[in-house]
Amino acid sequence: MTTSPVAASDSENFAAQCRALSQRVATYTQRTVGEGDALAEEIKQLQKAVKKARDELSEDDTHEAEELRLAKAILEGHGPGGDLRKLLKQRTPLLLRLLLGQHTNVITLQRRDAIRIKEEYHSFRDRSAFLLFAFSLGLLVGLLRAQSRMAANEPFTFTPPFMVGVQAFLCWLLYDYTAMALRENVLKVNGSSIRSWWIHHHYWSMAMLLLLLALPVDSPSVQMCVKNFLWWSCLQGAVMLVQNRYQRRRMYTRIALGKNSAMDVVSGESSGGYGQLLLLYPMLFGLQALQFFIGFEIVLRTWRSLFDPEGWLDLERHESDLRGSRGVSIAGALMLGMALCNFRNTVATILEKRQIRRKAGRRGMGSKDVSPAKQLALPNSRANGQLGAGKPPKPVSPNPARPDTIYEASEPEQKSGSKSKST
């Protein structure tokens, strides 16, 4: 009988090494959990103290207000540790609870991993905008061509294949809105400042798409609604392409200047520069006006079908279009509501940013405006003083591909980096 090439003593050594390594991992895990709980309690107490001090502060104490603003900004992500609120126990968003479960942890403590999640979200948003524009434009051109051939009594209109394409497009849109809502929920719990409505907007869109997918494709009301919806989707894709291209550069510049957190993402109203007021806001308001007009027109044409008693308790007539009209009417009402809420939130963001600028002007910050990220980068600043950082930090120029390096950059390099980006 042949003996094994691995001696018995070596096997025992391997088992002992694995057991010792497992014990070290268990000790490390326990120590990490204990330190995390202690830090979470300290963050919670400090957050309450800062909030209480801000509430009790008088308007004349400009220096104290600036110090408290810096403290609040560091807690919310303008520091080397990222958003400190991630260590606190927080409620899992509804969509994550429904799809992933109550106890699924999607919070990452590694700053680099959080930045990668944000960059992957931006890449997904870019692909979605291009597919939305191309898919809806192709279907719209095909349906208009089929409609013209049908009106001229020509053969081979290819209407059925295009309607199948519309169904596939609606299925893809349902996936896209679901994935977008999931990603934005994950980003929000990891420190991104996304307004709640822009996440809830995806829920409304998912409900509308589920409704449209359940309606008969041969219904005249459904075909009318689909054609208008494709017009709006095509323009929405074009606006998203322009928005992503314009705002991405501006967002990185604002992150480098400390005006936005490194985890902030591009959204319809994320930054309010002069160029955006001239370009993006008119496009966004125009898109919202078109959405309102389409929803209002659909509801105006089909609302009477909701009050027809036929088909609610018994089967409707075979030639009746009540089912399609009722579903389209509800879909139009959802579009109408989304347009109004989109407009309200966009205007609220503009007014909020103007109010912040007015407060900054009253406090005399126009000549002494130092953002939280810049204050962290200053060698003798109070934020760095607690770390014993009497020396200037290692200069690293702001890099659009690595926005998490801004806290290692010095102030002159941040200014030069912002100039190069703006040009």
State pLDDT tens for residues 213-241: 999 988 899 999 999 999 999 999 999 88
Spatial distance between the Cα atoms of 210 and 216, rounded to a whole number of angstroms: 13
Six token digits for residue 13: 């050594």
Q: What is d(CA 273, CA 6) in angstroms, rounded to the nearest whole number?
A: 70
pLDDT band of 177, cuts 50, 70, 90: very high
- Per DSSP, the three-state class of 194 is coil
3-state secondary structure of 379: coil
In this structure, of 75-89, 238-252, 381-395, the range with the lowest mean pLDDT score is 381-395
Q: In sequence order, what are the beta bridge partners of 83? A: 76
Q: Which residues of 213-234 are buried (b: 16+ CB within 10 A; e: fewer)?
A: eebebebebbbbbbbbbbebbb
Paired residues of 399 in beta bridges: 402
Instruction: Flag whether the pTM goes above 0.85.
Output: no
Instruction: Find the length of the chain.
Output: 423
The radius of gyration of the chain's CA atoms, rounded to the nearest angstrom, is 28
Strand-pairing partners, residue 402, are 399
Tell me the C-alpha distance between 162 and 122, whole Å.
30
Sketch the domain layout of the chain as residue ranges. Answer: 115-362, 372-422
Tokens of 283: 């496009």
Q: How many CA atoms lie within 13 A of 391 on its CB side?
A: 3
| pLDDT band, residue 170 (cuts 50/70/90) | very high
Residues 75, 84 contacting (CB under 8 angstroms): yes
Contacts of 21 (CB under 8 A, 6+ apart): none
Three-state secondary structure call for residue 77: coil
> Cβ of 179: how many Cβ atoms within 10 Å?
14
pLDDT band at 407 (very low <50, low <70, confident <90, very high): very low
| DSSP reduced 3-state for 235 | helix
Please list the residues that pair with 76 across neighbouring strands: 83
Q: What is the model's pLDDT at position 160? A: 87
What whole-number distance in Å separates Cα of residue 377 and Cα of residue 383?
9
C-alpha span between 347 and 84 (Å, rounded): 30
Question: CB of 177 within 8 A of CB of 209?
Answer: yes
49 CB burial (10 A radius; 0-12, 13-18, 19+): exposed
Q: What band does 355 get if pLDDT is binned at 50, 70 and 90?
A: confident
> Quick one: three-class SS letters along 244-311?
HHHHHHHHHHHHHCCCCCCCCCCCCCCCCCHHHHHCHHHHHHHHHHHHHHHHHHHHHHHHHHHHCCCC
Which pLDDT tens digit goes with each residue over 86-128?
888 888 888 888 898 888 888 887 878 888 888 899 899 999 9
Per-residue pLDDT at 305 exceeds 60? yes
State the average pLDDT for the chain: 78
Q: How far is CA 422 from the centre of its chain?
A: 24
Residue 135 has pLDDT above 70, yes or no: yes
Residue type, 209: L
**Tokens describing residue 76:** 């919310």
Range 8-47 burial, b when 16+ CB lie within 10 A, else e: eeeeeeeeeeeeeeeeeeeeeeeeeeeeeeeebeebeeeb
Confidence check: pLDDT of 312 > 90: no
Angle (CA) 33-39-42 rounded to 5° is 145
For the cut 50, the answer to whether the pLDDT of residue 248 exceeds it is yes
